[in-house]
Structures are given as C-alpha cells and as structure tokens.
Amino acid sequence: MELVLIGVMALLTSGLTFFSGFGLGTILMPVFALFFPVPLAIAATAVVHFANNLFKFGLMAKQADWRVVARFSVPAAAAAIAGAIILNLFDSLPVIMRYAIGGSTFEVTVVKAVIGVLIVIFALLELWPPFQVLAFPPRWLPLGGVLSGFFGGLSGNQGALRSAFLLKAGLSKEAFVATGVVSAVIVDAARLVVYGTAVVATHFEQSQAVVAPVVVGSVCAFIGAFVGKRVLQKVTLHTVRLVVAVAMLAIGAGLVSGLI
C-alpha cells in the first residue's frame, strides 16, 4: 500500500509543481511519515527530493543564475546541516507522554510534536493568500538561505521559503526555476550527510524497509518532472494547495497528538 501511495504522490507532485516552490518535499514527507518514524520519513523524502532535483538539474542547470546560487545556497547548506543535527537531537529525547485509546497505546514524542507543529504552520501558510505572493528584496537572500536551509534540514519544508526569497532576485521564469533547483540540490546534499550518518543509524532496521519506497518514489518523481517540463505550460495550484494543506493539517495534528 505504501509503495502505491508514495509512487502516485511523487508522480503527481513532481509534475504539477515543477514550476513552483511548493512541491515534492512538502507533500511527500507526510506520506512517508504515515509508514515510518518521522526522522526516517524526512531522510527518505530527502533522498527522493535530491534524486528528483538532480534530474531537474540536468534539464535546467545552464539557466541558473550562479551569483544568486552563491548568495543563497552557501548559507542554506550550512543551516541545513544545523537543522538536520537538531532533528537528530530531538529524536533522541525521551517520550513526553503515553496514553491508550481502545486498547491501543500512543506516544507523544518531542520529534513528533515539533515536526507536527511545523507541518501545521506550513499548511496554514499555504492556505493564507498573502503568503502566496510574499517576496523579499534581493539583499535578504543570505537570510533567506539560512531560513530555508534550516527548515529544510529540520522538517523538509523549504520550497515555499526559498521561492519567497528568490522571487525578487531579478530572475526570468526559467532562471528562477533553475536557480531554485540548483539551490535545492545543494541543500539536499548537505542535509543528507547528517541523515546518512545519524538518522539512518538510529533507525537502522527500519531503514532497510524504506529502500523500496524511496526507489519507487524517485522513479515516479523522474517521470513527473519529465512530463511537467514538456507538457505543463501553465500550472494552477489553488486546488492542489487546498487539498494538500488540509491533508497536512490532519497529519500534523496526528503527529502532535501521537496518533501517527
């Protein structure tokens, strides 16, 4: 069941959001979290996200503005490592609370609570119209890199913040997409170093089971990106944002309460 759900969501998301910062990691991480521990879900999503962005990198890297990449992505990479380290620290903290419903026991942990709250916040931002047109002046690019990278390392939610800081960088549509892709590749590479040495080691046995979903998700994301690059001329994301934001609210609440 998880292979089908993860594959379908990766395919649809990669294609529908090819031209948007709202994308693969935002949707796919909560789907992985339905089946795997939260830190491992974030790590698995990062692998799919990285592989997908490498594919996009090959398609569009020549159109990236490398001056913007340098100002934005260098601080983003450092902040992503910090966020990933903090995620691992949260994962090592003891259970906050246990409770039983109908004979089943549920646990509220620090990492579930923190990631759940972040998912809810980002879902509410997706439902808030002013956030969709939010853009910061170019002088804030390094700060944007820090914020986007940190939350990318901590929770996997980075695309919306990245777009908000790149929108007014004076880029063409093609350069905007390409620069975002290059930045995402750099951030993913940085956080995967921490995930690979810390998160996967902590959840080693369960990490074996995540290999097949990651492969399926990556392949489906490739197909989605390929179709999105060639077929989708104009992407309307209002309905997609609404449906996904509501689902994110439900999943975030489930994590905070320990039900997931």
Residue-level pLDDT at 70: 92
Residue-level pLDDT at 240: 61
Residue-level pLDDT at 162: 85
CA atoms within 13 A on the CB side of 28: 38
Lowest-confidence segment of 61-70, 86-95, 101-110, 229-238 by average pLDDT: 229-238
d(CA 132, CA 164): 8
d(CA 218, CA 193): 18
List pLDDT tens digits, range 161-186. Answer: 888 888 888 888 788 888 888 998 99
pTM for the full model? 0.80
Residue-level pLDDT at 76: 95
Mean pLDDT over 95-121 rounds to 85
Apex 255 CA angle, 12 and 221, nearest 5? 20
Q: Residue 123: pLDDT above 90?
A: no
Please tell me which residue, 2 or 99, carries the higher pLDDT value. Answer: 99
- Averaged pLDDT score across all residues of the chain: 80
CA atoms within 13 A on the CB side of 74: 6
Residue-level pLDDT at 1: 67
Q: Quick check: 241 and 160 in contact, CB under 8 A?
A: no
Apex 241 CA angle, 240 and 244, nearest 5? 80
d(CA 29, CA 213): 12
**Helix (H) or strand (E) segment spanning residue 66:** helix 66-91
Tell the burial category of 200 from Cβ atoms under 10 Å away from its Cβ (0-12, 13-18, 19+): buried
Confidence band for 83, pLDDT divided at 50, 70 and 90: very high
Distances in Å between the Cα of 15 and the Cα atoms of 10, 84, 86, 158, 227 are: 8, 27, 31, 18, 6
Total residue count of the chain as it appears in this document? 260
Phi, psi (degrees; rounded to nearest 5) at 37:
-55, 145
List pLDDT tens digits, range 198-242. Answer: 776 777 667 777 888 888 878 887 787 777 666 554 445 566 667
d(CA 57, CA 179): 9
Percent pLDDT > 90 in the chain is: 15
Q: Residue 151: pLDDT above 60?
A: yes
Residue-level pLDDT at 8: 74
Site of tokens 């990669």: 14
Hey, what's the torsion of the CAs at 134, 178, 247, 151, to 10 degrees? -70
Q: Residue 3: pLDDT above 70?
A: yes
Site of tokens 């799919």: 48
Confidence band for 21, pLDDT divided at 50, 70 and 90: very low
Which candidate, 62, 55, 64, places its Cα nearest to that of 225?
Answer: 55
Distances in Å between the Cα of 207 and the Cα atoms of 27, 29, 176, 189, 199 are: 20, 15, 35, 19, 9
Tell the burial category of 197 from Cβ atoms under 10 Å away from its Cβ (0-12, 13-18, 19+): exposed
Which amino acid belongs to residue 94?
P
Best-predicted range by mean pLDDT among 39-43, 103-107, 189-193? 189-193
Confidence band for 136, pLDDT divided at 50, 70 and 90: confident
Mean pLDDT over 12-30 rounds to 65
